[in-house]
Structure 1
Amino acid sequence: MISLKKVSKVFEGKRKAVALEKVDLQIEKGQVVSIVGPSGSGKSTLLNLIGGLDRPTSGEIEIEGEKLGELSDDDLTRVRRDKIGFVFQFFNLLPTLNSLENVALPLHLRKWPRKKIEERAKELLEMVQLGHRIEHLPDELSGGERQRVAIARALAVFPPILLADEPTGNLDTRTGQEILKLMEDLHTRLGSTVLIVTHDLDVAKRSSRTVALRDGRIVEDRQR
């Protein structure tokens, strides 16, 4: 499903910064994996590379049989669009679009028929328990509701992989637990492979596997 072989990422500048160094990682279909570590350990860099948002300096990344390093920018965009859903700490919803329109965006990019787009977007908002908030703009929603909309948008095409970067980091404890429960329920229902970057060890404890990074290297890989 997801394979990294000797993956390194170096940021060049006045001072060279090694974000990841020779990382080997295999993630099987349907696993829920938490990626933990202190700030600057390479967690978000790892997630961005797996998601095709950046390219490694060296090494090989394979997603569902496709070697990302061999893909053109257009093909990399296709992989992100069709195979990967993203959930971010700060939601990244478009402020001028309501809940339904935000969730529908990935479907418009795939040029779905308008009627099917509306049906799927409504279905997803019902799945995240926001069927009653479809016409609300982001600033009319609570933090937890915005994250639910973001999760619905990430799942719009039922991608096989869901990448979440600190999905509870901007939420209070209770709301964060509700979002985690929602993600667990959706994982059970859809069977997506889920990777969660988190500083919160309570979040990591709910995963079936925890990968710990320090100074750009994997220092622990624990399964439950």
Structure 2
Amino acid sequence: MEKRPIIALDFATMEEVLQFLAHFPKEESLFLKVGMELFYAKGPDCIRTLRALGHDIFLDVKVHDIPNTAYHAMKSLGKLDIQMTNVHALGGIDMMHAAKEGLVEGAKTAVPKLIAVTQLTSTNNQMVHLEQKINQDVHESAYHLAKMTELSGLDGVVCSAQEAKTIHRLTTDAFLCVTPGIRLETDAIGDQKRVMTPKKARMNQADYIVVGRPITTKANPYQAYQTIQTQWSEVK
């Protein structure tokens, strides 16, 4: 897949999604993230609609359950025409193994990339120490979960761009780092904690960036997308 910025469709209805996409040239194929808000509201039909428009899909549902449930959930998702989906690495190695098996079994043709969330980019050290009772800092926890994910046979992780370079050093060259929490220097951080600009994310070896509000809330979303894409692609 071409490494375009992934646009997070933070909308509750397909009407909002289509109004947003109307700002983009019809012939331009985008990489779109469908999250829980939209997928829970509209289900597989929203995937079919977006694929019919020529767009690639990262289905961001963060499966986290017992191995048997994860297996059957991913077997169902594998039947959809998506390019990427995910689980939570904190579900453990057995769960990630089962999820990958289910996805492979359910896939009609090409198997979607399966990645695992390490630590959410809204998580900081205080939350890791006080709420999760993990003695490592948030970055060390993400590195550990990335190594678990690779051991489980998955294709990569969702992590902060701050962690991408080290994760690449600890894993194989083909292992993907998909990084949300991307902000331009002029953007509000919002509820994110570990953020980075597109340019710095590329310099830190992120493979994909996921961008939501810095595009979706702008008066001219396509112009915002082009700005981010330019910053992302100008680093070689």
TM-score range, shorter chain: 0.3 to 0.5
Structure ranking higher in strand proportion: 1
Higher relative contact order, chain-length normalized (CA < 8 Å, sep 6+)? 1
TM-score w.r.t. length of structure 2: 0.36
Structure 1 length-normalised TM: 0.38
